[in-house]
Amino acid sequence: MTEPKMDKGGATHQQADQRDETMTTAQGGPIADDQNSLTAGSRGPVLMEDHIMREKIFHFDHERIPERVVHARGYGVHGHFELTKAIPELSCADIFQREGEKTPLFARFSTVAGSKGSFDVARDVRGFAVKFYTGEGNWDLVGNNIPVFFIQDAIKFPDLVHSVKPAPDRNFPQAQSAHDNFWDFISLTPESIHTTLWTMSDRAIPRSLRFMEGFGVHTFRLVNADDKSHFVKFHWKPKQGLQSVVWNEALKINGADPDFHRRDMWAAIDSGDYPQWDLGIQVFDDDFADEFEFDILDPTKLIPEEQVPVQIIGTMTLDNTVDNFFAETEQVAFCTQNIVRGIDFTNDPLLQGRNFSYLDTQTKRLGGPNFTHIPINAPKCPMNHFQQDGHMAMHNPKGRANYEPNSWGDDGGPRENPEIGFTSYSERVQGDKQRTRSETFADHYSQARQFYVSQTKTEQNHIAAAYTFELSKCEHEHIRLRMLSHLMNVHDDLANAVAKGLGYTDMPDAAKPARKPITDLPASDALSILKNGPDSFAGRKLGLFLTDGADANLVNKIETTFTDAGAKVAIIAPHIAGVKLSDGTMKAADETIDGGPSVLFDAVALIFSANAGEELARNKPAQDFVSDAFAHAKFIAWTDASTPLFEAVGVAGKLDDGILKLNNDNVAGFLKMCEGLRYWARDAS
């Protein structure tokens, strides 16, 4: 028998040929499974000995300095949390014990894919992270404005982010998912389909950070003083209601004001219109978890509020901007591992990986292990430990003892305290070491369908249009067709609408599901934006376009009526010096017509003098002001003098119930109209 020939590295030629195509670790070791972390049993915790997962995420966490790899473009605000319903029967966490008590906090909102210099209104998931400075240590609730995630196992997170980031050869596109790499990955990862329904919905293009929900995403545990555990999902419900923009509007906002969201948050707090969210919890036990249609450890799934209602236990108020953006917003370090006694983790494999990843990331970004010495990260309760030295150490243990146990008595430093110290919930864990995905994670389409049928027809149209736009940016047809094959498992109406938008008449075969989808899950109204919009115009903005000679009484009545209702009124004029009203008074302008397009406002009104309309009918920014407001289904108020401008853009012959001819008697009626967000009948037409 002939012995195989060896190459210089000691491998046979056959082995060497195989290695040319085999994925390896950075140390050169071939990888058998790059899809699943090593767990104790199919639903057990991720094991620390998983050197492949740790190396992969470790390298990913260290790819950028000093900018965050993801969530780089963020905006932070100070505030407080007031407990309105104590829950000692569910949790012994200090923050949940005393009704009326206020806990200081810092919240940071962010886009995921874009760099620090990208624009605000990208189609993207929004980070929604809150650091509570509780009496027993910091608790970081690090979530998103979408309750589900793209992947089930943290080992795939580097792949997901690499796919959506600028391609490594050409370094574009920036802050966009509309390209081949992203949809190639998604179409090969069916577990991502549910979340893409959310990101193709208007949830991914919020009107404001103030008008979006927040979610903890994962299932956590609440543990009471008797070591009794309940599962919990965390929700942030905006008191302002939900509101988004439309896609064409988002594109134009990014051109007119790439800082639209951060400017909006700053202006609201600066004017005393403090944004508020209610903190809600979905609490359930092991019996519900066993009976639920899906695995509660699967981060690509949610629990409908109709099945487990959200209990409101407190309110977050954001009432103070930062003193210095870098010192606070840029240096704040959120870590999912930062929990307090009374809150604990579950075996969600994505959460377990995040617990490793976030600490590693912050250590890299902020220069070492002492980022907790930075004021924005430091707890506001007493800190006592033996950790010392390291880069940028601001304080070290006093005295001779820097170890424990020691026998130095009162001079020996802090001691452990079993009575109030953190203890993990005593869950029984056993199983074979393996790289596998639990069969209970295998349904990838049922909740995506449920989300789709829960939307209004307007929202469904927007989802189909978003898929069509994104996939039209894919150069390779096989990627577009592969995505269509997945959408066919979600809903025929959605798949057919996207196919029509892309110009396909012959549909591909539907993708073979790992588990047969459930097609009769009931609609959930909580999943719709339009079913949960604001009930007033408070906190929103009217663009009031004026010219010299505008009716002073009408202008003043509009300003008074809208500001008394808690809205903002911005004056737009041909010149920044403002306009002289009909009574001779000057009205200062906030924006010129070429710097204040209608995309920046929630509704618009035009009050011109007798001859101004004819002149503005030849003004392109003025034309865009009206045509965009009309195209984006906004409520519009106007006076007769505006007619030439309406005629110039073809709106005069399309007046509908969302357009009101304004006079002194119907200003309150216009305000009432504007409470309805948009005139969606125009959008549908």
Strands 74-83 and 102-111, sheet pairing: antiparallel
Closest C-alpha to 634, from 660, 662, 667, 661: 660
CA 97 to chain CA centroid, Å, is 29
Host H or E run for residue 543: strand 541-546
- How is 359-412 classified by DSSP, letter by letter? HHHHHHHTTSGGGGGSTTTS-SS--------STT------SS--SSS---GGGS
Closest C-alpha to 75, from 128, 143, 144, 114: 128
Q: Where are the beta strands (DSSP E) in 32-125?
A: 38-40, 74-83, 102-111
Q: Which amino acid is at 218?
A: H
d(CA 443, CA 302): 13
d(CA 468, CA 475): 13
Report, as residue numbers or ranges, the catalytic residues.
Answer: 71, 144
Determine contact, residues 558/529, Cβ cutoff 8 Å.
Answer: no
* Residue 326 DSSP code: I
Burial 635-674 (b: 16+ CB within 10 A, else e): bbbbbebbbbbbebbebbeeeeebbbebeeeebeebbebb
Determine contact, residues 368/392, Cβ cutoff 8 Å.
Answer: yes
Strands 311-321 and 276-284, sheet pairing: antiparallel
Host H or E run for residue 238: strand 229-238
Determine contact, residues 604/636, Cβ cutoff 8 Å.
Answer: yes
Q: Which residue has the tokens 């389909």?
A: 193
d(CA 4, CA 14): 8
Residue 206 CA: distances (Å) to CA of 202, 246, 532, 570: 7, 9, 13, 21
Residue 268 CA: distances (Å) to CA of 208, 318, 569, 598, 665: 11, 10, 13, 19, 30
Q: Report residue 240 as tokens.
A: 């302002």
Closest C-alpha to 544, from 526, 583, 570, 521: 570
The CA-based angle 509-515-521, given to 5 degrees, is: 95
Determine contact, residues 105/130, Cβ cutoff 8 Å.
Answer: yes
Determine contact, residues 154/336, Cβ cutoff 8 Å.
Answer: no
SS3 630: helix
Host H or E run for residue 494: helix 492-502
